[in-house]
Structures are given as structure tokens and as C-alpha cells.
Amino acid sequence: MTQPDPTAIIHTAQSQSRHLLTEVESKALLRAAGLDVVRTELASSRDQAVGLAEEFGWPVVLKICSPDIVHKSDIGGVRLNLGSAEAVGQAYDAIMNAARTAQPEARLDGVSVQPMAKPGVEVIIGLTTDPQFGSLLMFGLGGVAVEVLQDVAFRLAPLTSDDARGMIRELRGLPLLTGHRGQAAVDLNALEQLLLGVSGLATSYPQIQELDLNPSLAYADGCLAVDARIVLRSDGPPPAPRPLSEHTQAALERVFHPKAVAVIGDKKAMNYMWLRSQNRFQGKVYSVQIDERELPGIEALGVPNYTSLADIPDEIDYVMTAVPRQVTPRIIADCAANKVGGVMLFTSGFSEVGDAEGKQLEQRLVETAEASELALIGPNCMGVYNPQIGLRNYTELPTGEAGDVGFIGQSGTHTITFSLAAPQHGIRISKAVSFGNAAVLDASDYLNYLAADEQTRRIGMYLEGVREGRRFFSLLREVTPHKPVVIWKGGQSEAGQRATSSHTGSLATPVAIWDAVVTQAGAIPVADFDTLLDVLHLLGLAKPTTGDGVGLVAMTGGPSVVITDAFEQAGLRVPELSQDSYQELASFFTVIGGSFRNPLDSGYTIGMGQSTDNLARLLSILERDPRIDAIVMDTGAGLVAGQWQARPQLLDSLLDTLSAFATRSAKPFLTVLQPFNREAELLSVREQFHAAGLPTFATHARAARALALVTGYRRFQASASEP
């Protein structure tokens, strides 16, 4: 039989308006594309089945072949290990009868015949199409691991070899592949090649919507797919990602660095919050308000008021407005007519509400903004914050020198809360934006802007979703090797409700995909606000390391025990120190009431932080130890905060010692300041630590989680910069 080419197989199915390829067709396509699949031929009669079995050699497998039957075993359509012509003949009849009974309407092509493959480790390789992100590869272990534990890995296609390797290695069940309890290890290289082959198919044949190789068998030498199912797309291929418009970026430049701003429709009922937020703005501020009753209040703020945007004798770069939703189309049209750079709509009640009028109004805004290339921020948002020039979106926000952390938030509350919390965490903001419904500009547009912004060295995000997933992914990939991006995703627990006919599709939940995609793109996914702050804090204050060996210093016994647990649980290691370190420690360490294996239980030795010579010596030993990559000290704040308060010079000399060490050391140095009893006092202590360049964490677990995430990012960064 001549080998048909994959396109011909796809065309045959399409000409019959079929989306599901049979196992025989799927395997023929895969073989033609050069992938390792078990030889499989169609028999449309009993005799033909016997003939094929004799040709292949015994034993063989028979399976029902029908474009209408998805799960063959479920209807009694699979017979394994058939060793004789008689067994094949009987199996043929039994399978055809079972299929006719189970699905009388189904088109039955006959039965497929294939050699019985020798036993191996069952794995699943799959391809599915995510509506947000496009072609997505899956790899998992077969059987219980995938059904019950959902131990699977995802990556967007096309895969790099690193991606393929990473997918296999991140499985919890990896030991089952690398030789568990004396079993031979399987050929991981062959599995990688199979994954890369499927990824190549996704690129070459965009008609393929889903593909399952379930199972493939992995051997010590090679691997083989014994089942295959391909589903074709019913619609056209997804559109290519839209490029980011240069005009938008220029408009955003005006929005983030305006020379003149206007607030439209601010009012007493809102305590003039938008106008009052601009009282430290270094450019010009104008008000537009037609309601006579509001004018005295505006005048009292010293802001000139006009009755229309057109009357303002200045070019307006940025407009803030909270007018009722019915009025917004007119305001946006006005902004467009007056060549405003951008406008933020605090107004809510659009697509997020879900009523027809809201949706329609939002559509009108989009049309006007897009036609005029006006940067429309929101609606349902708080707009932008640039502390350096005093441009604020909330009256209590600090202004001053430019920081180096950019923030992009889908929620107004989270964006403002982040901006307020940042200073206490040693995080200084360069620019922040709350963008709400993203009717026109989406997370990608703001990310693109902050990626190019020189002040911004690190980026934090709060997202609930992105509209053009592929565009976001590609952009993240470009940004993350240079600037870390930390993403907190809301709505993680939302259940995935997508109809898919493949196993891969059903396992590809929104949460699993999001985490995989973000990580593949080199960003740092975090699950909550605290971790977002902690990770940005650590990125800004500590030296980088790619190693996972942590040296721990605690004051007393109990904390020494649990700090170790916290770091081990976060996936880091607390190793034994080198002999040199132990020798030196033995020469001065007080072992009565302490110990120095790692963690160093050292309260006696360092006088709870007061014997700064011993403290410096101890830290230097960890710094020199080749087994240690990062150093963490629990300051015992719960016990010593009272002394710090009574004798501030104690704290000063501790800070001097630690700060000198952190500067000198090439390894990251973290401190834990757990506020057990003096929460309020410790706030200012923390700020002193930060000012001294020392990152602080409220708990062991938070320090451990942040260090693990940042170390993972540093590894990505190191591999991304390899040639």
C-alpha cells in the first residue's frame, strides 16, 4: 500500500464533513509525518483480518474502526493479545456485533489490525486548542496518574527542546520513567522527540484541533503510540496575533507623562476625588463641568473650570472621568475630536454588568476610540499613577522620586491597594495602571509600554484574564529575560467548562493552562497578594542565585526546627555544611543551648544579635560555604523587639552588621521579622531593614516561598541568556 500524505487524509475526512479521524486514519497521518506509531491496517472482513494478522505476526490486537466511536474499549471494541487465526476471526465478529449493539447508527468501517506491542510504561501525549492561547501540548503518565492525580504538564506549541524536556521532568511521577524500584529507565530522549514531533504537526497542519496518543508506550529504547485520535477543526485556524500599534504606545506615553490633564464631571458627591488627587500634579489641571452647583466647590480647589473640552486653551494629554454611562459616548467623541492622548473611564456599568445597554454602550466607545486611535483606559477602572510627576488616581498615594516597579491591574482596588502597600514593602512604584474592562487597551498594551519604560525594572500584575492570549504570551516571552514579571491571577478556582472530545482537552483546565503558559513565558505566577509583594520585594533587594541550598540562622530551638521545614516544603534544600565550615564553627560556637548543623541555632553564640562580631563571623562562614546559595536569618523579633525599642543602638548596630554583610556577600540574604507581639513597632523596624537594603518577611513560609519562586525565575533567566 502506498503511503498517503497527511493532507490527503485530512481532505478525505473534510470532504465527508467529518471532524473525527478514525484510529487507522490518525495513525496513517502520524506515520506519514514520521512519528513512531504501531503499524495499523483496516480489515473490512473476517478473512482480511486474519490475512493481516498473519502478515504482521502474532499476537495481534483488533479494534473497532468507526468515525463515530470515540472510546473504543467502552463499547467492547478492543481485543488484545490474539494468538491464532481462530481467535482473530472470533474477535472480528464479536467486535462488530458489540459495536452494532452499542451504537446502531454508527458507520462501521471494519476492524483495525495491529501487532500487540510489548509492555512498556504507558504515557499520554496530547494536543488541544485553547480558545485563549491556541495549540497546547500535554504530557502525562497513563492510567491512575492521569485519571486520578491529574499529573500532567502543558506547554504552548511550538515547543523548544527545553520545553519538551521540562514537560517530562516536571511530572510528580517522573520516578516511574527514570527507573523506579529496579525497573529500567525509559528512553526520555525518544519521548522528547515524540513531543517535538506532535508540536511540529500542530504547526504544519493547523487543521488539527485535538490529538491524543493515549497511550504511547515508553521503552528503555524508543517509544511507540498504540492508540491515536485526531479531531479536525470545524472552523478556520485562529487569527494570527494582532501587532501592538505604535500609535497606542505613543498615546500611552502622553497618558503616563501628561503636561496637562482634564477631569470631566467631578462632583461634590464624590468629594471631588479626581480633582483632589491631582493636587500634587506638576503639570496643568483643568476641570470640565456644566453643572452650576458644582462650580463653587471646584473653584475652592483652585482648578479652572470650562464648560467644554474644546474651550480649554491647552492641549490635553489625559482625561479622567466618572460621568454616568449614558454620557460616556459623547465624552469619548469629544476627547477624540480634541485630540486628547488618552482617557480613563472610572464609570462602570458596561460589559461587566452583562445587560444589553451596557454592552452596546461599550461597543460604541470601542468604535470611537479605535477610529481615532484614542488610548481608552477602562471603563470600570482607576487609570494611571505616576508618582514622580504627582499624577495620582487616589488621594492618599505617595508622590516623589520615581521607583522601579511597574504595576498593571485589572482591578482598581487591587491596583490602589498595591500602590498603598508597596512603600511598606520596600517597593517603589515607577508607574501603575488599573485598566478594568479592557474594552480597547488590554494587559498586553500596558505590558508593552512598561517593557520599554526605562524606569521600570520589574513588573507586577493582577489579572483576571487576557483577551488575546497568544499576543500576551509572545510579549511576556520577550520581556521576562530582561525584566521579571510577577502575575497574580484572580478567578483561579473557576471551573473549566469546555466541551471537548479528547482526553487532553478535558484535562486542560483554565488553571492548569494559565500556570503552564505563564511559567513557559518566564513570568512568575503567584497565588495571592502577599506573595506578589514578597516576590517583588525580594527581586528588588536581594542578590540573584540559581542554586537551591539555603543556610539558615535562627536564635532558638523551636524556630530552627520549623524554619527548616518551611524551606524544604517550598522545594529548596537545607544541606549539611562543608567540613571547613564545621571546623571553623566549632572553634567559637556555643553548643550548649544551640547547634550548628544547619540551621545554626545560634542565639547564645551571637547574643541574640548583640554580639555582632560573632554574628558577622557566622554569616561569613555561610557566605564562603560552597554548599550554600542563599542565607536566611530569623532575627527572633518576637523576643528581642522590646530590647530594640528600649535601646535603639542595639538595633542600629545589628542593622550595620547585617547591611555590611548583605552588601559584601555575593549570595542573597533574607531576614524574617515575625511580628508576634509588637506589630506596630515592627512596622518601622521593617522599614529600617529595607532602607539598609535588607529584605524582610513576616513568616518563614513567606520567605521560603518567595525565595523558591525567585530562584526558579533566575534559573529561567540564566537559561534564556545561554546562546
Distance CA 263, CA 594 (A): 63
Least Å from the CB of residue 147 to Mg ion:
12
Is residue 150 classed as helix, strand or coil in its secondary structure?
Answer: coil
Q: Residue 128 or 602: which CB sits closer to ligand ADP?
A: 128
Stretch that binds ligand ADP, among 73-81, 427-435, 561-569, 699-707 (CB under 6 A): 73-81
The reply on whether position 215 binds ligand ADP by CB under 6 A is yes
Alpha-carbon span 379 to 374, nearest angstrom? 13
Contact region for Mg ion (CB under 5 A) — 119-127, 178-186, 206-214, 601-609? 206-214
3-state secondary structure at position 488:
strand
Query: Is the Cβ of residue 213 or residue 541 nearer to Mg ion in the bound state?
Result: 213
Residue 714 partner contact from Mg ion, ligand ADP, none using kind-dependent CB cut-offs of 5 to 8 Å = none
**Contact range with ligand ADP by CB under 6 A, out of 69-77, 410-418, 641-649, 681-689:** 69-77
Contact between 667 and 548 (Cβ < 8 Å): no
> Among the candidate windows 45-53, 153-161, 211-219, 349-357, which touches Mg ion by CB under 5 A?
211-219
Name the one range near ligand ADP by CB under 6 A: 65-73, 321-329, 456-464, 705-713. Answer: 65-73
**Where are the extended beta strands (E) located within 379-534?**
383-385, 405-409, 429-434, 458-463, 485-489, 524-526
DSSP string, 252-318: HHHHHS-SEEEEES--GGGTTHHHHHTTT-SSEEEEE---GGGHHHHHHTT--EESSGGG-SS---E
Partner from Mg ion, ligand ADP, none binding residue 660, C-beta < 5-8 Å depending on class: none
- Kindly state whether residue 502 participates in binding Mg ion, applying the rule CB under 5 A: no
Among the candidate windows 12-20, 113-121, 165-173, 667-675, which touches ligand ADP by CB under 6 A?
A: 113-121
The most distant pair of C-alpha atoms in the chain lies apart, rounded to whole Å, by: 100
Say if CB 448 and CB 473 are below 8 A apart.
no
Residue 73 makes contact with ligand ADP by CB under 6 A: yes
CB of 155 to ligand ADP, least distance (A): 23
Q: Which residues, 6 or more positions from 156, have their beta carbon under 8 angstroms from its beta carbon?
A: 133, 134, 135, 136, 137, 473, 516, 517, 520
- In the complex, what is the shortest distance from the CB of residue 682 to Mg ion, in angstroms, rounded to a whole number? 58
Residue with cell 453643572: 291
| Closest to 230 measured CA to CA, from 379, 25, 407, 93 | 25
Considering the complex, state which of residue 114 and residue 696 has its C-beta at the smaller distance from ligand ADP: 114
Smallest gap from residue 219 Cβ to ligand ADP (A): 12
**How many positions of this chain bind Mg ion (CB under 5 A)?**
2
**Alpha helices by DSSP H, 5-72:** 6-15, 23-32, 46-56
Question: Which of residues 84 and 684 has its CB atom nearest to ligand ADP in the complex?
Answer: 84
Q: Which amino acid is at 393?
A: N
Residue 117 interaction partner, one of Mg ion, ligand ADP, none, beta carbon < 5-8 Å per kind: ligand ADP
Q: Which grid cell sits at 695?
A: 529584605
What is the DSSP pairing of strand 110-115 with strand 60-65?
Answer: antiparallel
Report the residue number, 219 or 582, with the smaller CB distance to ligand ADP. Answer: 219
- With beta carbons less than 8 A apart as the criterion, state whether 394 and 416 touch: yes
- Nearest of 485, 487, 483, 484 to residue 465 by alpha carbon: 487
Q: What is the rounded distance in angstroms from the CA atom of residue 688 to the CA atom of residue 13? A: 70
Specify the DSSP element, H or E, that contains 498.
none
214 binds Mg ion (CB under 5 A): yes
User: Looking at the DSSP assignment, which residues form a beta bridge with residue 284?
Assistant: 260
**Residue closer to ligand ADP, measured from CB, 102 or 389:** 102
Strand-strand pairing, 630-634 and 550-554: parallel
Among 114, 129, 602, 665, binds ligand ADP (CB under 6 A): 114
Do 669 and 658 meet the contact criterion of CB atoms below 8 Å apart?
yes
63 binds ligand ADP (CB under 6 A): yes
80 binds, among ligand ADP, Mg ion, none (CB under 5 to 8 A by kind): ligand ADP
Please identify which residue in 85, 94, 98, 116 interacts with ligand ADP, judged by CB under 6 A: 116
Contact positions with ligand ADP (CB under 6 A) in 37-56: 38
Fill in the per-residue mask, 408 to 447: x = in contact with Mg ion (CB under 5 A), - = not in contact: ----------------------------------------
Number of residues that bind ligand ADP (CB under 6 A): 15
Q: How far is the CB of 10 from Mg ion (least distance, A)?
A: 21
Cell readout for 613 is 562580631
| Touching ligand ADP, residues 367-406 (CB under 6 A) | none
When asked if residue 78 is in the footprint of ligand ADP (CB under 6 A), the reply is: yes
**Residue 198 gets which letter from DSSP?**
H
Which residue, among 626, 603, 632, 597, has the nearest Cα to 615 in the 3D structure? 603
Measured from the CB atom, is 20 or 706 closer to ligand ADP? 20
Question: Between residues 56 and 346, which has the closer beta carbon with respect to ligand ADP?
Answer: 56
Q: Which does 116 bind (CB under 5 to 8 A by kind): ligand ADP, Mg ion, none?
A: ligand ADP
Closer residue to Mg ion, CB minimum distance, 75 or 517: 75
Q: Which residues bind ligand ADP (CB under 6 A)?
A: 38, 61, 63, 71-73, 78, 80, 114, 116-117, 214-215, 226-227
Positions in the binding site for Mg ion (CB under 5 A): 214, 227
